[in-house]
Structure formats: structure tokens, C-alpha cells
Amino acid sequence: MIATTEKLAFKDTTASVLLDLLRGIAALLVLLEHWRNLLFRDYPQLTAHKTLLLLPYALSAAGHQAVVIFFVLSGYLISGSVFRMFERNQWSWRGYLTHRLVRLWVVLIPGLLLCTLWDNLGIHLHMAPDLYQGLVANHLTGDIHRSLTTRAFFGNLFFLQSLLVPVFGSNGPLWSLANEFWYYLLFPLGLITLRRQTALPQRILSGVLFLAIAWFVRHGILLLFPVWLAGTVLALLRAPRLSMRTRIITAVLYSPLAFLFAKAHGIPNLLSDYLFGVATFVFLWVLLSATGRAHPDTLFARVSRALARSSYTLYVVHVPFVLFLTAVFLGNQRWVPDGPHILKGLAVLAVTLIYANLVAAATEFRTDSIRRWIEIKMGLAKKPNRNKQASTT
């Protein structure tokens, strides 16, 4: 008998678990930065225990770098799926956009509605008027009254924030969703334009649309497209053969970089993003060497999957909720990070995580079933044959 080796699907590999862990940690880093900025005074304002608090403050400073991690991960996962669709002759704009928009809107629509609720409640309670007018120096909130409009709501719904409308209400993290959406369009358009197997008229049309969109998003969103494309390059590379020891050493070397780049104020912001994007690209390439079968029942795998499963929801819904809790418990002030206030802050953090998971249970966790239902309604998928299923059980 000739032995055969079964090629594992990526979702069954240890690399998939590691990428899920990284995605979950990135979402937590974003939450930590916003939580710290809203609840606690800045590090230079501290007068006691500065050495002891140096590490916690550093760990809560890398929210933007976490978004760079999201971009590289997204480029790898999305472009990889596009490549596979073309290889299998299954590509269609209709199917692709259905997948992408359902994934985005299942969480974004409730997120915008919840932002409307919390921001309006916080404003009308008048517990922290300075906070909602952008007069508290927390590096996070501006005058929320001006951006809490119907125009901004629908502009954010259709990913026009930072282009034609401001980010909606207090929900600053939504800026990156506009980036993601336009990258989802730019990448396939560029690929079709360069793909010789595609008919010439389609290539020309795709090229024109690519240039039009690139011009439309040229002032901000386009500048970070190379970071997203780093993930595309990663999808084209073969996974290296590296030992677990190499992966651990690389993780140890990579881990401080997000916090170092967050504090590297002498480097221009865009250059910093590019450099950290390159470092993230190398780190992910090393992680992809973990091609062995994952053990889904281990605590490590369960925690990694759980963190990733609700990461998108956590990213979208946390700021308006934490801001409202800040208005209720702190008013227009920020705490000195002493023992009692740290414990209260950790309680706010725990409640926020519970809140995000409850929202995820009603939204993100149901993405596949909602997408399947929509695809059946659109004729993109067939309705399961219950009689056939019954006969095979």
C-alpha cells in the first residue's frame, strides 16, 4: 500500500490558530489604548509611581499599530481568497461583494445604531458636556454633536468616512473600515487589469475603475494601500519550513515593535506604518511555517479562536460604550491611576468585553448563516435539500 499525505486546509493548521490569536490581541490593543485615554491621565501628568506604571502605559499605546496588523492580515486573507476564486474559475463580482459587504454590514449597521444610542444618551444626560464637546484632552473625542448626523450615519454606512463625511459620532475606529472597503475594490480591479487571461475590454474597464477609485481615495486611504498589499505578497509566497524555536524567537523579537513604533515620534507617521507593516509581513511569514494540524481542543486554540471570533465587533462597538461609562462615572475628569481607580478601570474594561461579546453573539457570530440566507435569496447558492439530508443520516 502506498502512503498518501493529506494536505490540510489552512483553517485546520496551527498557523490559522496563531493568526487568530494575533487578530484577537490586535483588537485588545485598540481597546486598551482608547480605554486608557478615556479613563486615565497621560503619563507626563503623573506625579507618583511613574516607573511602576511605565509598562502599562506603554502597552496601551499601540492601537494604531494594531490597525496596521489588521491591514496586513486582511490583505493576506482577502487576496488569498480572490486568487483561489480565479484559479477555480469561480470569480464573480456579485459573489465577492456579497461576501465582503455581509461581513462588514452585519456588525457595522448595529454598531452605528448603538453609537447613536450611547452618544445621544450621554449628551442628553448632561453628565459630561465637556467630554462630548471635545474639551477633555483625551486624544480621542472631538465635538461629537457635529458628527452625530444623519448624513454622517449613511456616509459611514457606505464607507465614505474621511472622504465625504466625518467618522460617525464618537466612533473613531470606523476610519479603518473605509480603508478596508476601498481596498476590497482596488485589489480585484488591479488584478483583473493585469490578468492576461481576462478579455481585453474587461481589463480596460477594470483599469479605468481602478484609477478612478485610486484618485477618489488619494488623500489618505490610498497611502496605506501598500501596507494592505504586503498581505497580498504574503499570499503569493510559499510557507517556509521553520522550526517552532524560530517562530518563538521571532515572536519575542516582534512583540515590542508595536510599542516602540508607537513612541517613535521622530519617524514620519506614514514611514512608521510602512516599516511596521514590513516587520508584520516578516512575522506573519514566519508564523505561516506552522503547517501542522492544530489541536482545536487545547486551551491555547480555544482562547485564540474566541478572541478572533468577536474581534471585529469589539473594534466597532467599544468606543461609544466606554465613552458613555466615562461620562457616567468620571464626568469631565480623568482618573489618576492609583489602586482604587485602577480596579474601577479594570471593571469598566471587563464590562466592555462582556458587552462586545453580547453584541457579537447577535451579529458577528451569525455572519455565515446570514450570508448563506442572502446568497440563497440572490440565487448565488442553492437551498439545502432536506429530503436528501434526511436520507443520508
User: Model confidence over 359-376: pLDDT tens digits?
Assistant: 999 999 999 999 999 989
Instruction: Tell me what pLDDT residue 381 has.
Output: 78
Instruction: Tell me what pLDDT residue 385 has.
Output: 67
pLDDT for residue 353 is more than 80: yes
Residue 69, SS3 per DSSP: helix
Q: For residue 105, what are the domain limits?
A: 10-383
Q: What is the pLDDT of residues 87-126, one digit of tens each?
A: 999 999 999 999 999 999 999 999 999 999 999 999 999 9
More confidently predicted of 382 and 326: 326
pLDDT for residue 389 is more than 80: no
C-alpha–C-alpha distance, residues 124 and 69, integer Å: 37
In the chain, how many domains are there? 1
Separation in Å, CA 8 to CA 81, 138, 291: 16, 47, 8
In a domain, 2, yes or no: no
Instruction: Tell me what pLDDT residue 5 has.
Output: 45
In a domain, 198, yes or no: yes
DSSP character at residue 183: H
In a domain, 328, yes or no: yes
pLDDT for residue 178 is more than 60: yes
DSSP character at residue 9: P
C-alpha–C-alpha distance, residues 198 and 270, integer Å: 35
Percent of the chain with pLDDT over 70: 96
In a domain, 5, yes or no: no
Q: Is the pTM of this model over 0.85?
A: yes
In a domain, 219, yes or no: yes
Q: Which three cell numbers stand for residue 259?
A: 510599542
In a domain, 393, yes or no: no
In a domain, 90, yes or no: yes
- Supply the mean pLDDT for the chain: 93
Instruction: Tell me what pLDDT residue 129 has.
Output: 94
In a domain, 150, yes or no: yes
